Amino acid sequence: MAHVNPTPLTQLSEEESLFYATVRQFAEEVIAPQVRAMDSEQQFADGLGERIFDLGLMGIEVPEELGGAGGSFFDAVLAIEAISTVDPAVAVLVDVHNTLVISVLRRWGSQAQQRHWLPRLATDTVGAYALSEAGSGSDAFALQTRAEAVAGGFRLNGRKLWISNAREAGLFIVFATLDPGAGYRGITAFLVEKGTAGFTVGRKEDKLGIRASSTCELIFDGCEVSQESLLGEPGKGYKIAIETLNEGRIGIGAQMLGLAEGAWGHAARYARERRQFGKPIAEFQAVRFTLAEMATEIEAARLMVYNAARLKDAGQPYVRQAAMTKLFTSQVAERVASQCVEIFGGNGFVRDYPAEKYYRDAKVGKIYEGTSNMQLATIAKQVLTSR
């Protein structure tokens, strides 16, 4: 069935509209038939990752001369949105890879690191971003993973937790403290390849939502990496993390926007098909008004996501807009998904229908890449010090 949007896509060029439509069609034709099985089995379908690479969605901002699409950050946001309308779990794979891993390498990687890794990331190697630990969630820089300088490189010891893409990834950006006495100024970033001695991917978390997306523990036990694995300068890991997460929050905004769009589409179709008291429930004012409110919030969320992404591409300040976008879109996604369940009624509470999965997937939007309270703290700081 053709997809249904609550409102037309706005502020897109002809080329951007075509790109969005292409990714949306791929999501509906290739991903949609496998969503329920992937959610149940808690893993991506065989070959799905390769097809996403083949479509060029894993190297959107990688320059063409390095094997990528040479696109913009806005293009990455559109891809995340389009995939999220069908399965936000699959969108995590594309989001983390593009807005965090590739973004870090493009900005902070040496020429040698970029020449080595960007072609691989664009064609066959998934990336993961390893910052969080059991004791450092919102307090991201309380991390305990240690890096020690040794002959020819560094030795890493510690554990990371809640790392997205961990099971699929071939490259990990790992943050560790090189100088504990320096506090957050001792945090340093490293490139660690899968299979490096002393590095193990631990158990996969059994999650409420986005279940097909792998979220795993990483274990570093005397893991030695070369000097060439140092990303940026020693002690600059905190700066890399902060600036990258600001971009990543727009990506999460796009994921939550797409999720809300997908939930709305299913709710609208069901309301037209479900009959009670002799007519479709879409003809009852209460249902019509609910769908209208959902559509209005989705349109507002879309404008916020697109505006933040445009600002980022234009080189304009966007920290406040990124935080507002993540805060608002996560609220909209949860509300819209909840209302979708209610429109489905009893069918919304069972797994035979898509509503309950959107509801489960929505919750993480308020948690990862900065909780809603952290976004509020950032927004308050931005607005109260600029006026």
pTM for this prediction = 0.95
Q: Judge whether 23 lies within some domain.
A: yes
Q: Is the pLDDT of residue 325 over 60?
A: yes
**Boundary (domain end) residue, out of 204, 237, 270:** 237
Q: What crossing angle do the helices spanning 73-84 and 285-313 adopt, rounded to 10°?
A: 160
Please answer whether residues 218 and 296 qualify as being in contact, where contact means their C-beta atoms are separated by less than 8 angstroms: no
Percent residues over pLDDT 70 in the chain: 97
Range of the domain at 82: 14-125
**Boundary (domain end) residue, out of 56, 90, 125:** 125
Please give the Cα distance from 70 to 60 (Å, whole number): 6
* DSSP-based three-state secondary structure for 178: coil
Please answer whether residues 218 and 160 qualify as being in contact, where contact means their C-beta atoms are separated by less than 8 angstroms: yes
Q: Is the pLDDT of residue 7 over 60?
A: no
| pLDDT confidence of residue 9 | 58
Please give the Cα distance from 360 to 221 (Å, whole number): 35
**The pair of three-digit structure tokens given for residue 94, joined into one six-digit string:** 């594309």
**The pair of three-digit structure tokens given for residue 370, joined into one six-digit string:** 């900065």
Condensed to tens digits (0 to 9), the pLDDT of residues 290-309 reads 999 999 999 999 999 999 99
Q: Is the pLDDT of residue 12 over 60?
A: yes
Tell me the HSE value of 183 on the side-chain side, using a 13 A CA sphere: 1
**The pair of three-digit structure tokens given for residue 320, joined into one six-digit string:** 């406040």
Same domain (yes/no): 88, 222: no
| pLDDT confidence of residue 214 | 98
Per-residue confidence at 5, pLDDT binned at 50, 70, 90? low
Per-residue confidence at 142, pLDDT binned at 50, 70, 90? confident
- Residue 112 CB burial class (10 angstroms; 0-12, 13-18, ≥19): exposed
Per-residue buried b or exposed e for 39-75, using 16+ beta carbons within 10 Å of the residue's own CB = beebbbbeebbeebbeebbbbbbbbeebbbbebbbbb
**The pair of three-digit structure tokens given for residue 349, joined into one six-digit string:** 């509470």
- DSSP bridge partners of 200: 219
Same domain (yes/no): 110, 167: no
Same domain (yes/no): 121, 148: no
Average pLDDT, the chain: 95
**The pair of three-digit structure tokens given for residue 347, joined into one six-digit string:** 């069918």
Condensed to tens digits (0 to 9), the pLDDT of residues 186-197 reads 999 999 999 999
Q: Judge whether 89 lies within some domain.
A: yes
| pLDDT confidence of residue 8 | 52
Q: Which residue has the tokens 């990496």?
A: 225
**Boundary (domain end) residue, out of 73, 101, 125:** 125
Q: Which residue has the tokens 């559109």?
A: 78
Q: Judge whether 290 lies within some domain.
A: yes
Same domain (yes/no): 289, 348: yes
* Residue with more model confidence, 136 or 44: 44
Same domain (yes/no): 173, 283: no
| pLDDT confidence of residue 2 | 43
Per-residue confidence at 147, pLDDT binned at 50, 70, 90? very high
Q: Average pLDDT for residues 84-94, to the nearest whole number?
A: 98
Question: Total structural domains in the chain?
Answer: 3
* CATH assignment of the domain containing 190: 2.40.110.10
Q: Judge whether 3 lies within some domain.
A: no
Same domain (yes/no): 120, 135: no
* CATH assignment of the domain containing 349: 1.20.140.10
Q: Judge whether 7 lies within some domain.
A: no
Same domain (yes/no): 298, 244: yes
**The pair of three-digit structure tokens given for residue 160, joined into one six-digit string:** 């990371």
DSSP 64: G
Residues identified as active-site: 369
- Other Cβ atoms within 10 Å of 224 Cβ, number: 18
Per-residue confidence at 209, pLDDT binned at 50, 70, 90? very high
Q: Judge whether 357 lies within some domain.
A: yes
Please answer whether residues 311 and 318 qualify as being in contact, where contact means their C-beta atoms are separated by less than 8 angstroms: yes
Per-residue confidence at 386, pLDDT binned at 50, 70, 90? low
Q: Is the pLDDT of residue 4 over 90?
A: no
Q: Average pLDDT for residues 321-333, to the nearest whole number?
A: 98
Residue 96 sits at the vertex; the CA angle it makes with 91 and 97, to the nearest 5 degrees, is 100
Q: Is the pLDDT of residue 160 over 60?
A: yes
